Amino acid sequence: MTVAQIYESFVEPPKTEVPAMPQGADFPLDQANVFPREGRCRVVIENCAPQIDGGRHSIKRTVGERIVVEADIFADSHVLLSAVVKYRPADQPDWSESPMVRLKNDRWQGEFAVTKIGEFLYTIEAWVDRFKSWRDDLRKKIAAGQNVDMDLMAGTQLIKEASLRASGAAAERLAEWANTLSAGDPQGELALDETLNKLMMQNSDRTYVSSPASCLRVRVERERARFSAWYEMFPRSCSPEAGSHGTFKDCENQLARIAKMGFDVLYLPPIHPIGRSFRKGKNNNPDSQPDDPGSPWAIGAAEGGHKAVHSQLGTLEHFHQLIERARLVGIEIALDIAFQCSPDHPYLREHPEWFRKRPDGSIAYAENPPKKYQDIYPFDFECEDWRGLWVELKSIFDFWISQGVRIFRVDNPHTKLFAFWEWCLAALKQEQPDLIFLAEAFTRPAVMYHLAKIGFSQSYNYFPWRNSKHDLTTYFEELSQPPLVEYFRPNLWPNTPDILPEHLQVGGKPIFEVRLILAATLGASYGIYGPAFELCEDRPLKAGGEEYLDSEKYEIRKWNLDAPGNLADLIERINRIRHENPALQSNHNLKFHPTDNDDLIAYTKSTEDGADIVLTIVNLDPYHTQSGWIDLPAEAFLGDAAKTYQMHDLLTGARFIWHGRQNFVELDPRYSPAHIFRLRRHVRTERDFDYFM
The Cα–Cα gap between 260 and 262 comes to 5
Which region holds residue 187: left if phi is over 0, alpha if psi is between -120 and 50, else beta?
alpha
Dihedral in degrees, nearest 10, Cα atoms 590, 594, 598, 600: -60
The Cα–Cα gap between 576 and 441 comes to 29
The Cα–Cα gap between 90 and 248 comes to 40
Asked if 539 and 506 count as a contact pair (C-beta separation under 8 A), the reply is: no
Of 462, 485, 464, 488, give the one whose Cα is nearest residue 475: 462
Catalytic residue among 129, 264, 440, 552: 440
Which region holds residue 355: left if phi is over 0, alpha if psi is between -120 and 50, else beta?
beta
* 371-380 CB burial, b ≥16 within 10 A, e <16: eebbbbbbbb
440 is catalytic: yes
Q: Do strands 371-373 and 366-368 pair parallel, antiparallel, or not at all (unpaired)? A: antiparallel
Asked if 637 and 596 count as a contact pair (C-beta separation under 8 A), the reply is: no
The Cα–Cα gap between 67 and 44 comes to 22
Of 395, 468, 463, give the one whose Cα is nearest residue 620: 468
Residue 491 one-letter amino acid? N
Grouping H, G, I as helix, E, B as strand and the rest as coil, residue 18 is coil
Q: What share of the chain is helix, strand, coil (3-state, %, to 5)?
A: 30, 25, 45
CA angle (361 as vertex; 359, 366 as ends), nearest 5: 75
Grouping H, G, I as helix, E, B as strand and the rest as coil, residue 275 is coil
Residue 59 one-letter amino acid? I
Quickly list DSSP for 425-483: HHHHHHH-TT-EEEEE--S-HHHHHHHHHTT-SEE--SGGG--SHHHHHHHHHHHTSTT
Q: Could you give the angle at which helices 248-260 and 316-328 cross, rounded to 10 degrees?
A: 10
* 523-534 CB burial, b ≥16 within 10 A, e <16: bbbbbbbbbbbb
The Cα–Cα gap between 269 and 230 comes to 13
Catalytic residue among 129, 411, 546, 621: 411
Q: Is 382 exposed, middle or buried (CB count within 10 Å of its CB: 0-12, 13-18, 19+)? A: exposed
Q: Which residues contact 270 (CB under 8 A, 6 or more apart)?
A: 296, 297, 299, 336, 338
Tell me the HSE value of 580 on the side-chain side, using a 13 A CA sphere. 13
The Cα–Cα gap between 357 and 364 comes to 6
Residue 254 one-letter amino acid? Q
Residues that are catalytic: 411, 440
